[in-house]
C-alpha cells in the first residue's frame, strides 16, 4: 500500500474515520522507550525476556512510510514475543502524518501508534518535526486529532518538557493534547536544548500529569534501578525506560523483583550471544547480516560499558548521570566490558562474529551516552 500511495497526490487521499478502536491499560506496565538505532528488534527481544511489558519500534518517518521505503517499513516489524507493541512515527505535515497512521493501523500488526514530539536532532527539528512541534501547538493538535480519527488502535504521544529553558511548553500542551482523544502522554523530563546535560525534571513531569488528567501520563528520564523507578512513580502514572535499559536490560527484572541483580560477566556475555543469534536471524547470516549485527552490537556496547557490577559498587544504587570511577572487574572479561575504548568493544564483537576487516572503524552515532 505504501508504494501505491506514493504515486497519489496528497489532496486526493481519502481519510477513513474509525468509530471503534482497541484500548490498552498502560498503567503499572514497564514500557521500553522507542530508541533510534539501538531499539532494534533483537534488542527488544532481550528486554522482553527480562520482563518489559510494552515495547515500541524505532522512530519511522511518516513521509518515507507513504513512499514505500523498505528500510522504514522494516522498523514497523514486530516479533511474536512482543505482546504489547507499538510503532513511533515522526512528521510535520498534517495529512501525511494522518495518512501514515491510517496505513499503519490497517496494514501492520501493532497495538498503538506513537507520535514523536521529542526528537532533538537538527535534521528532524529543522524540518518542523520531532520536538519542533512543541512550538506549534495548533498543528500538533490537528495532527493528533487526525491520527486518532483514522486509527483503529490507540494513539499516544511522547514529548519533552519544552524546546529550551525559555520555552517550557509541556504543561500547557498536556492540557491541550488531552482533548484530542490520545490514550497516553509520555514526558521526557528535559528540553531539546538540554539534551543529556542536566538531570530529568520530574517535578515538571508531575505538573504535566496534573494538566493532562484524566489522560494517563508516563515519565521518562534517569531510571537505572528499581529504587529510581519507585521514586519516580510519585510523579507519574508509570515510567518509560530508555537509557537504563540500554545500560542494563535486566532492569525490568530488577523492578519486578524489587532487588539489585548482581549479574556476572558470563551472564552478560550470554546476553551478547543471544543478541548475536537474534541479529543474524533478523538481518541475515550472510556477510551483510553479520556486519549489520556487529554495527548494532557496537552501538549498544557504547551504553553497556557504563554498567558497574553490583559487587563492585561501594554505594547502591548506581545513578545514571554519575560518571563511574575507573575500576578493575572481578575477572578479565568484566574488565574488558567496562572499557570506554571502542577498540575493546570491537574485540567483544569479534568473539561472536569473527574478525573485522583491516580498515574497520566505529564511531557511536548516539550522544545519549553522555553524562549530566
CA distances from 268 to 250, 315, 322, 336, 343 (A): 10, 22, 22, 12, 19
Q: Of 47, 56, 90, 119, which is the active-site residue?
A: 119
**DSSP bridge partners of 345:** none
Query: How far apart are the C-alpha atoms of 175 and 182, rounded to whole Å?
Result: 12
Q: 174 CB contacts (<8 Å, ≥6 apart)? A: 185, 187, 208, 209, 211, 212, 215, 217
Q: Which letter does DSSP use for residue 164 in this model?
A: B
C-alpha cell at 307: 554498567
Any long-range contacts for 360-369 (C-beta under 8 Å, 24+ apart)? Answer: 362/295, 362/298, 364/298, 364/299, 364/302, 365/37, 365/299, 366/36, 366/37, 366/38, 366/299, 366/302, 366/303, 367/195, 367/196, 368/195, 368/196, 368/242, 368/243, 368/303, 369/243, 369/302, 369/303, 369/306
User: Does the annotation mark 119 as catalytic?
Assistant: yes
Q: 360 CB contacts (<8 Å, ≥6 apart)? A: 346
Enzyme catalytic residues: 119
Amino acid at each position: 500500500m505504501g508504494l501505491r500511495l506514493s504515486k497519489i497526490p496528497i489532496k486526493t487521499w481519502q481519510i477513513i474515520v474509525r468509530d471503534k478502536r482497541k484500548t490498552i491499560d498502560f498503567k503499572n506496565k514497564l514500557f521500553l522507550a522507542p530508541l533510534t538505532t539501538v531499539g532494534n528488534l533483537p534488542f527488544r527481544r532481550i528486554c522482553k525476556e527480562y520482563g518489559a511489558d510494552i515495547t515500541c519500534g524505532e522512530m519511522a518517518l511518516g513521509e518515507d512510510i507513504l513512499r514505500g521505503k523498505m528500510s522504514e517499513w522494516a522498523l514497523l516489524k514486530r516479533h511474536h514475543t512482543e505482546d504489547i507493541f507499538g510503532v513511533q512515527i515522526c512528521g510535520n505535515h498534517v495529512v501525511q502524518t494522518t495518512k501514515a497512521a491510517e496505513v499503519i493501523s490497517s496494514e501492520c500488526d501493532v497495538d498503538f501508534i506513537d507520535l514523536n514530539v521529542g526528537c532533538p536532532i537538527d535534521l528532524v527539528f529543522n524540518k518542523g518535526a520531532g520536538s519542533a512541534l512543541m512550538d506549534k501547538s495548533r498543528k500538533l493538535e490537528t495532527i493528533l486529532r487526525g491520527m486518532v480519527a483514522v486509527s483503529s488502535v490507540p494513539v499516544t504521544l511522547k514529548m519533552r518538557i519544552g524546546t529550551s529553558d525559555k520555552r517550557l511548553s509541556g504543561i500547557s500542551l498536556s492540557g491541550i493534547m488531552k482533548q484530542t482523544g490520545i490514550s497516553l502522554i509520555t514526558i521526557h523530563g528535559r528540553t531539546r536544548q538540554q539534551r543529556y546535560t542536566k538531570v530529568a525534571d520530574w517535578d515538571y513531569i508531575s505538573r504535566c500529569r496534573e494538566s493532562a488528567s484524566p489522560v494517563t501520563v508516563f515519565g521518562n528520564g534517569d531510571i537505572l534501578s528499581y529504587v529510581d523507578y519507585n521514586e519516580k512513580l510519585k510523579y507519574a502514572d508509570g515510567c518509560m525506560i530508555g537509557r537504563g535499559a540500554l545500560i542494563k536490560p535486566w532492569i525490568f527484572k530488577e523492578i519486578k523483583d524489587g532487588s539489585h541483580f548482581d549479574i556476572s560477566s558470563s551472564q552478560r556475555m550470554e546476553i551478547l550471544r543471544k543478541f548475536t543469534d537474534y541479529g543474524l536471524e533478523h538481518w541475515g547470516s550472510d556477510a551483510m547480516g553479520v556486519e549489520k549485527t556487529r554495527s548494532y552490537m557496537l552501538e549498544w556496547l557504547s551504553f553497556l560499558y557504563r554498567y558497574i557490577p553490583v559487587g563492585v559498587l561501594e554505594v547502591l544504587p548506581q545513578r545514571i548521570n554519575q560518571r563511574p570511577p575507573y575500576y578493575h572487574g572481578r575477572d578479565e572479561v568484566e574488565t574488558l566490558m567496562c572499557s570506554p575504548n571502542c577498540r575493546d568493544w570491537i574485540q567483544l564483537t569479534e568473539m561472536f562474529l569473527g574478525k573485522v576487516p583491516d580498515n574497520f572503524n566505529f564511531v557511536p552515532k548516539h550522544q545519549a551516552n553522555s553524562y549530566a
